[in-house]
Amino acid sequence: DAKTTQPPSMDCAEGRAANLPCNHSTISGNEYVYWYRQIHSQGPQYIIHGLKNNETNEMASLIITEDRKSSTLILPHATLRDTAVYYCIVLLYSSASKIIFGSGTRLSIRP
Amino acid sequence: DAGVTQSPTHLIKTRGQHVTLRCSPISGHKSVSWYQQVLGQGPQFIFQYYEKEERGRGNFPDRFSARQFPNYSSELNVNALLLGDSALYLCASRPGLAGTTGELFFGEGSRLTVL
């Protein structure tokens, strides 16, 4: 079973920041938080990952709470192309190929 | 640079038949994983191969098998197809067992329909 809990769906206005929450209350100390997304009919795409510090790359920011029991993926300026299912995953770095995907959050960007 | 490529992109089979799906990883990637994605659900891990050896297996019956070749490409085989095997089959690659970035690169998938 997936170790994460995400809302099944969210929506966001184009140009605004999309904040996707994820709960992972049973995360262990050496497990990372990964985010992937899957645009319709395509393979999943890696977005970002982190251990305990906040991370930022060209796609998104990842904010992990101090107790590491939850995190938020932030898409700073959402566009229509960001419409996708977003998966929050926790796993050991060494097991990063054996991902257990949950149901994810279906993010809809409205014009 | 080419990403992960999979073939065929779409195929239709009937119950009881056998299917072979193929995957070419990104150049330089030695680890290949296979996932099954049934409509409306997240992908499910099937196999991981690294250096031609199976390094992980998900909860799938023995009808599912795979192998990795010296050039790191891979095949997924499914025997005695069932209607429930209809799904998108995804291949993913990464440089090694524990890459420097941790990210997995997915192909676009092979969509299998079993009638």
How confident is the model over A12-39, as a mean pLDDT?
94
How confident is the model over B28-36, as a mean pLDDT?
93
Q: Do B109 and A46 touch (CB under 8 A)?
A: no
Mean pLDDT rounded to a whole number for chain B: 93
pLDDT given at position A1: 57
pLDDT cut 70: percent of chain B above it: 94
- What does the alpha-carbon distance between residue B110 and residue B6 come to, in Å, rounded to a whole number? 7
pLDDT cut 70: percent of chain A above it: 94
Residues of chain A positioned with their CB less than 8 A from the CB of B35: 99, 101
Q: Do B102 and A34 touch (CB under 8 A)?
A: yes
How confident is the model over A12-31, as a mean pLDDT?
93
* pLDDT tier for residue A70 given thresholds of 50, 70 and 90: very high
Q: Do B58 and A32 touch (CB under 8 A)?
A: no
Q: How distant is the alpha carbon of residue A80 from its chain centre? A: 17
How confident is the model over A3-32, as a mean pLDDT?
94
- What does the alpha-carbon distance between residue B44 and residue A103 come to, in Å, rounded to a whole number? 11
| Interval B87-107: pLDDT, tens | 999 999 988 766 545 688 999
A87–chain B Cβ distance below 8 A for any pair = yes
pLDDT given at position A100: 85
Residues of chain A positioned with their CB less than 8 A from the CB of B31: 97
pLDDT at residue A37 tops 90: yes
The backbone region for A94, taken as left when phi is positive above 0, alpha when psi lies in -120 to 50, beta otherwise, is: alpha
pLDDT at residue B79 tops 90: yes
Residue B68 to residues B24, B41, B87, Cα–Cα distance (Å): 10, 27, 22
Give the residues across from A75 on adjacent strands: A18
**Phi (first) and psi of residue B97, to 5 degrees:** -70, -35
More confident residue, A98 or B69: B69
Residue A22's nearest CA partner among A81, A94, A82, A103 is A103
More confident residue, A31 or B77: B77
How confident is the model over B49-72, as a mean pLDDT?
94
Question: How many A/B residue pairs have CB atoms within 8 Å?
Answer: 66
* pLDDT tier for residue B22 given thresholds of 50, 70 and 90: very high
